[in-house]
């Protein structure tokens, strides 16, 4: 009986010693830091479900900033995190010193093949794949994809009409996820997922499971805390096996259909497929300019499609949802937007074309302001892979330290954004744009790791917003609770449903 008690107290004593020692890291290094507590470090509010992950980072940013310093430290459990608040340092990390911060530092192992997508790929492999896929998202490609986005708005409107046949309020996020799932799948892989028509479609499960509460909560904690090498030995997976099998089957089916029908579309799927063909890659230059790039194996090839799918549907549907929510609260801005949409369409014979959307100036401002307040990725992680001397200081961030660039923190910082909580698209008018301090706004990231599909994401989001605002007056439904952020996944999301009323006006 005595032995277990002794063991228990010894373990507790060791843990307290270990935590105290770890939590002295920033103090010993002479950097301001936000005081951590045992066991969660600065994340007690996150683990007691009071706030979202990105929100916690924004608060740490705010506290460091309030001390009048340019950078500081925080703790995730016992792990130190470096958090700059000065846009000059942020710019340096994104751009000039990119070589020190090439990777996101997320969990990526070959035992869980679907983790090997572009967002997670590292070093030379990332550079090679990124360089070969960038052409999939040029402005020219956007014109073709635009037609697919518009085609799907017809179904979106039909589904919304059916939903509204016996009521006026809708949980809009759930419908928008289906819209962006269908658009992303069709544009990038050429498949009709038809989730707008069938809300029980299997792909929805595989997409939302990735973001779902329990998975996100538990897995994020494990992969952020335990070294990758240990998890790899334990064969730890964050992707459900069923999801891996589903995407592998989907990939094989698309591949065999295209081969049988000699169907070349020049989309993301074709580009990824080519990178798995040794005959093709042997004629490519690798990132060093050396002839002959190593072909991607089957797992990495499928992972690219999976990664683009996952990165593509949730970010945009969340952004459309937040935009509608703010427009419902700010009727004057909603009216201005509708006016902008209708006036611009008139100039284009009332046809919704790619050029007409590009010329909707207020729509652009609404999108930018929505992403300022609600950046879909509210913080951008970087792993420090080489000691880094912070410009203008003697401080060195050591190799292996996690770095967090808090978009949500700086984009709501009153020094750069007066009255930051207010939804004010005018901040991004042509006249005001030049006043924005560089690197205080980066919803798509910056530098070589900038969101590869930022044009696609913006276009898809704009098409979604304009479709609904053009035809409906949108107001907040009384069932809507005060907005709180979800405390599970990495993508910023509302914790509760966003309840909106839709009144047809066209």
Q: Cβ 191 to ligand HEM, closest distance in Å?
A: 14
Going by the annotation, the residues of the binding site are 451
Is residue 477 near ligand HEM by the rule CB under 6 A? no
Q: Cβ 137 to ligand HEM, closest distance in Å?
A: 8
Q: How far apart are the first and last CA of the chain?
A: 77
Is residue 315 near ligand HEM by the rule CB under 6 A? yes
In the list 97, 220, 319, 406, the residue contacting ligand HEM (rule: CB under 6 A) is 319
In the list 281, 356, 461, 501, the residue contacting ligand HEM (rule: CB under 6 A) is 461
Q: Which residue is nearest to ligand HEM (CB)?
A: 445
CA distance 451 to 119: 9
| Greatest distance between any 2 Cα atoms in the chain | 86
Q: Which burial class, exposed, middle or buried, applies to 337 when counting CB atoms under 10 A from its CB (0-12, 13-18, 19+)? A: buried
Q: Cβ 398 to ligand HEM, closest distance in Å?
A: 21
Locus of tokens 């080519």: 274
Paired sense of beta strands 79-84 and 402-405, if any = parallel
In the list 26, 46, 456, 472, the residue contacting ligand HEM (rule: CB under 6 A) is 456
Q: Cβ 178 to ligand HEM, closest distance in Å?
A: 15
Q: Which is nearer to ligand HEM, 248 or 382 (CB)?
A: 382
Q: By CB under 6 A, what part of segment 161-220 binds ligand HEM?
A: 184
Q: Which is nearer to ligand HEM, 70 or 382 (CB)?
A: 382
Stretch that binds ligand HEM, among 39-47, 140-148, 281-289, 438-446 (CB under 6 A): 438-446
Cis peptide before 361 (omega within 30 of 0): no
Q: Cβ 380 to ligand HEM, closest distance in Å?
A: 5
Positive/negative CA dihedral, 160, 499, 479, 195: positive
In the list 303, 380, 468, 498, the residue contacting ligand HEM (rule: CB under 6 A) is 380
Q: Which is nearer to ligand HEM, 126 or 472 (CB)?
A: 126
For residue 104, give the nearest of 310, 377, 288, 319 by alpha carbon: 377
Is residue 445 near ligand HEM by the rule CB under 6 A? yes
Q: Cβ 38 to ligand HEM, closest distance in Å?
A: 31
Positive/negative CA dihedral, 350, 356, 503, 313: positive
Q: Which is nearer to ligand HEM, 207 or 443 (CB)?
A: 443
Is residue 136 near ligand HEM by the rule CB under 6 A? no
CA distance 463 to 104: 30
CA distance 75 to 383: 15
Q: Cβ 406 to ligand HEM, closest distance in Å?
A: 12
Going by the annotation, the residues of the binding site for heme are 451
Is residue 302 near ligand HEM by the rule CB under 6 A? no
In the list 45, 69, 88, 119, the residue contacting ligand HEM (rule: CB under 6 A) is 119
Which residues are bridge partners to 82 per DSSP?
A: 73, 403
Using CB under 6 A, count the residues that bind ligand HEM.
27
CA distance 235 to 394: 41
Paired sense of beta strands 380-383 and 402-405, if any = antiparallel
The residue count of the chain comes to 506
Assigned token pair, 470 = 């053009």
> SS3 of 9, please?
helix
Give the distance from CA 300 to its chain's centroid.
Answer: 20
Can you give the binding site for ligand HEM, defined by CB under 6 A?
Answer: 118-119, 130, 184, 307-308, 311-312, 315-316, 319, 371, 376-377, 380, 443-446, 449-453, 456-457, 461
């Amino acid at each position: 009986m005595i032995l277990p008690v002794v063991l228990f107290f010894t373990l507790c004593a060791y843990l307290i010693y270990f935590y105290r020692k770890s939590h002295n890291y920033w103090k010993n290094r002479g950097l301001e830091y936000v005081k951590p507590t045992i066991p969660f470090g600065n994340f007690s509010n996150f683990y007691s479900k009071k706030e979202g992950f990105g929100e916690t980072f924004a608060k740490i940013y705010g506290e460091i900033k309030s001390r009048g310093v340019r950078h500081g430290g925080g703790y995730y459990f016992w792990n130190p995190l470096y958090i700059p608040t000065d846009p000059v340092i942020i710019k340096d990390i994104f751009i000039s010193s990119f070589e020190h911060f090439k990777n996101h530092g997320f969990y990526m192992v070959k035992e869980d093949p679907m983790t090997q997508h572009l967002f997670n790929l590292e070093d030379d492999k990332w550079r090679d794949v990124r360089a070969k896929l960038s052409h999939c998202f040029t402005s020219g490609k956007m014109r073709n994809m635009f037609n697919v986005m518009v085609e799907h708005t017809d179904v979106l409107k039909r589904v919304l009409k059916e939903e509204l046949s016996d009521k006026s309020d809708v949980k809009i996020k759930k419908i928008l996820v289906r819209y962006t799932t269908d658009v992303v799948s069709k544009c990038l892989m050429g498949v009709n997922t038809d989730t707008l028509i069938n809300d029980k479609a299997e792909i929805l499960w595989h997409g939302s499971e990735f973001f779902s509460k329990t998975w996100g909560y538990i897995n994020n904690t494990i992969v952020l805390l335990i070294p990758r090498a240990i998890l790899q030995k334990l064969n730890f997976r964050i992707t459900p096996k069923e999801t891996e099998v589903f995407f592998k089957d989907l990939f094989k089916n698309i591949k065999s259909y295209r081969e049988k029908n000699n169907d070349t579309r020049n989309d993301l799927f074709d580009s990824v497929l080519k990178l798995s063909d040794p005959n093709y890659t042997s004629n490519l230059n690798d990132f060093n300019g050396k002839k002959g790039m190593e072909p991607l194996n089957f797992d990495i090839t499928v992972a690219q499609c999976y990664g683009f799918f996952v990165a593509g549907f949730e970010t945009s549907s969340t952004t459309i949802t937040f935009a509608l929510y703010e427009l419902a609260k700010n009727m004057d801005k909603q009216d201005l937007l509708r006016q902008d949409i209708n006036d611009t369409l008139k100039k284009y014979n009332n046809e919704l074309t790619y050029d007409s959307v590009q010329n909707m100036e207020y729509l652009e401002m609404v999108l930018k302001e929505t992403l300022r307040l609600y950046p879909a990725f509210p913080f951008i992680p970087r792993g420090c892979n080489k000691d880094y001397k912070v410009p203008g200081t003697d401080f060195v961030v050591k190799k292996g330290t996690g770095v967090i660039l808090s978009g949500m923190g700086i984009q709501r910082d009153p020094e750069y954004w007066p009255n930051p909580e207010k939804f004010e698209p005018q901040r991004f008018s042509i006249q005001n744009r030049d006043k924005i301090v560089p690197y205080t706004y980066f919803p798509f990231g910056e530098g070589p790791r900038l969101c590869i599909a930022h044009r696609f994401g913006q276009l898809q989001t704009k098409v979604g917003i304009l479709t609904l605002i053009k035809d409906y007056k949108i107001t907040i439904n009384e069932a809507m609770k005060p907005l709180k952020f979800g405390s599970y996944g990495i993508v910023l999301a509302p914790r509760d449903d966003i309840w909106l009323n839709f009144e047809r006006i066209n």
